[in-house]
A and B are shown apart, each in its own frame.
Chain A
Amino acid sequence: MNAFKRTSIVVLLAATLLLVTSSVVAAPGALTVPSFDALAKRATDSVNITLDSSILGLAAGFLDPSSPEDAAARDVISGLKGIYVRSYTFADDFAYPEAEVDMIRKQLSAPGWQRLVQVRNSKDHGNVDIYISTDQGRANGLAIIASEPREFTIVNIVGSIDLQKLHRIEGKFGIPNLSPTVTK
């Protein structure tokens, strides 16, 4: 009886661990983006967008193929598993804690991620970092960290990202010609 109890407990623990691990381990190219609840309270304007694959599929069904913007959006999201955006605007300069930004940057120093572009503008203190996650030469994640004195934005796009598609929708969303060869 004791042996049975012990085995049951071990099996239960293993199952729980497996469940927890599978939920914690993020998909390749995905960042663990904090909820930034404290930031949202202090911000004058906040955008919190979480589009997982099911919501992306739902959104795709409501895109109008006759609209160039919608058609471009449909083209971009095919193959994507998620789009996560957090953006906060503040009334005062540097109202957001740098520690929060650093926590994200730390994740981007992990293997698989590489910095594509780094922009440091000393004049208006506008910083933009663009990172790309690759696996066997294929991009599976894109991260943008943009900070200005009164604005802080994180974008994480998960899935098979085709930079050529981004190039093709140039002019529709105003997305620039971002060639994969442009590094730093």
Chain B
Amino acid sequence: MSNDIERELRAALRPVDPGERFAERVLARIAHDPTHSTRAPRLRRPAAASYRWWGAGLAAMVVLAVVAVHDIHVRRMEQGIEARRQLLEALRLTNEKLDIAYRAINANDRHATAQKSGA
């Protein structure tokens, strides 16, 4: 009984020659099979790579923000220095004109005093 089973198994599993052009036929069948896709299977991007992109984006945004803040600060400084220069120039010009008036008033006062003392 056991010898029969063994013999049947051997017969079933015996090496059989696939014949000529077996590989070509298999490939041709695969090519014509509509359910088969020749595209490579889509792989899911690993989570670590995605986080890396997010990190790089965030870092770029931080760098841009720092540059923008620095630029605003520099511009503000330049405006402030220019405003100070203009203020001092305005006060200098104001003073110059007030001084003319002051000297004229003083000269008049001296003249009036001299006239009084002469009289």
> Which residues in A have some Cβ–Cβ distance to B below 8 Å?
47, 49, 51, 55-56, 58-59, 61-63, 69-70, 73, 76-77, 83, 85, 87, 117, 119, 121, 126, 128, 130, 144, 146, 153, 155, 157, 166, 173-178, 182
Contact = CB atoms under 8 A, between A and B. Distances in A.
B109 to A, nearest CB: 10
A69 B95 CA distance: 13
A79 B95 CA distance: 18
A58 B83 contact: yes
Given A58-B79, A58-B80, A59-B84, A173 B91 contact: yes
A50 B75 CA distance: 19
Given A58-B80, A59-B80, A128-B104, A49 B99 contact: no
- For the residues of A in contact with B, the DSSP-based class is mixed
Contacts, number: 94
A144 to B, nearest CB: 5
9 contacts: A47-B93, A56-B87, A62-B81, A69-B88, A85-B93, A175-B91, A176-B101, A178-B101, A178-B102
Nearest to A120: B104
B22 to A, nearest CB: 88
Among all A-B residue pairs, the 6 with the closest Cβ atoms: A176-B102, A59-B83, A62-B80, A173-B95, A119-B104, A62-B84
Contacts of B95: 173-175
Given A49-B90, A85-B89, A177-B102, 18 more contacts: A47-B93, A51-B90, A55-B86, A59-B86, A59-B87, A77-B87, A83-B91, A117-B105, A126-B100, A128-B100, A144-B94, A146-B97, A155-B94, A166-B98, A176-B101, A176-B102, A178-B98, A178-B101
B7 interface: no
A96 to B, nearest CB: 16
